[in-house]
Structure 1
Amino acid sequence: MRLTRVRLVTLLLALGAVAASPARAALFEDDEARKAILDLRAKSQQNEEAQRARFEQLSKQLQEQVQPLSRSLLDLNSQIDALRGEIAKLRGQNEQLARELSEVQRKLSDQAQALDSRLRPLEPQKVALDGREFQVEPEEKRQFDAAMGLVRRGDFAEAGNALAGFMKRFPASGYSDAVRFWLGNTQYGKRDYKDAIATFKAFIASNPEHPRAAEALLALANCQIELKDLKSARRSLEDLLKAYPGTEAAQAGKERLAALK
């Protein structure tokens, strides 16, 4: 009986131990889970803090990188604005220079024209007279025209002096034949028949093909008639009819010759 009680006690203790063992195991498992959760929370918090710190660091680095870039962009914009202003200024200067250049060119053109106008009277000129063209100096032309103006006005004395002076100053002039012809006419107009005869003879001898040669030969005969040298006059008129037939001078000479006979 006593043995049975011992066994019973032992059995009860064993059962108690068995019953208590799962409770302790459950308690242990709860502690481990709680600790794991706490560890996970701690690690999560650490990760968040690490990420926050990394983000702040990256943000700071980005700001440090962006700020110089922003300043560079601002500086670049300022430079662009300055360049635009400089370009506008240069464009305005170019337009002003273009206007000034145009004005200078206009003035140079005016000066060139004025100079050309002043020089033109000093340059040789081409003239046409009695079927011939030749070059004359401005002063040469001026003096000849002035002398011919005196001839047309009938001022034979002044015209003769002007023509004689012209021949001395311009002995090789293209006007020479015309000057001789009109000098003979002024001498005839002054009734200086002997000088007129010499002048007309020199004119005909120097250029017998001259368009006024027939007129000169007729004038020569007229001078001889005025001097009562009818023999010489007839010879001159016959030479006129022979050398220059069909001319107006020859027709007049023919009538004059008939009158002399």
Structure 2
Amino acid sequence: MPGLSMRRCSGQARVLTMALLLAVPGVFGVRHAHAGLFDDEEARRQIRDISTKTNERLDTFAKGQIELANQIQALREENSRLRGQVETLIYELDAARKRQQDFYVDLDGRLRKLEPQAAPSTEAKPADEGKPPLDTPPRKAASDPAAETREYEVALNLFRANKLKEAAAAFEAFARAHPDSNLTPSAQYWLGNVHYSMRDCKKAIDAHRVVASKWPTHAKAPDALLNLATCQQELADAKGAKMTLETLVAKYPDSAAATTARQRLKK
């Protein structure tokens, strides 16, 4: 019976082999299924991470855009507020300049009333003395203080009315027509102020320099030097302005203009 036993063992071996062969593909299939499931889950996780990071970046960008827009709006409002303040300051400065102008014009009129006026001589002269000698040059026509005052007042009123071009022409005409009048230094001084009001500092400097050099003892000479220094400063001539202020302090130490000049020199 040994042959029968061997055949049975051989049959059982074949059955076991077949069972193993049938079982192996199943095992491999399960492994592949698990591997596929793992790959899909990892991909979904990475996609979620990318989506989360992208959303966070978009949120940060959106917040930055909103903050930038708010800052721009705030700057616009600040700019508008500052523009309003500048316009207000310009208006107040113009008003203050006009008040100061009116004050000085009024003061000029009051001071002129206190100045002695030249009066024509009324003494009688012999008939032969009324005619100049033949070798004597002709005398200048006698000035009319009243007429000069009226011309001067016309120019001053034009300046007071802020008719600057007309005032400049009137003061220039007065200075040419009455070079020896006691009102000519004041006319020249106001001519400088008119040019300054028209923002022509070069002509203002020329006019004030004439006052300071031609009539150094006149009451307006210190103020002319102070105005001259102001114009030099506005033209960025700091050295020239300093020299003018120092000259003013040296020549007119007790004047009100010198007090202002000392304050400016300290700055």
TM-score by length of 1: 0.47
TM-score by length of 2: 0.46
Larger radius of gyration: 1
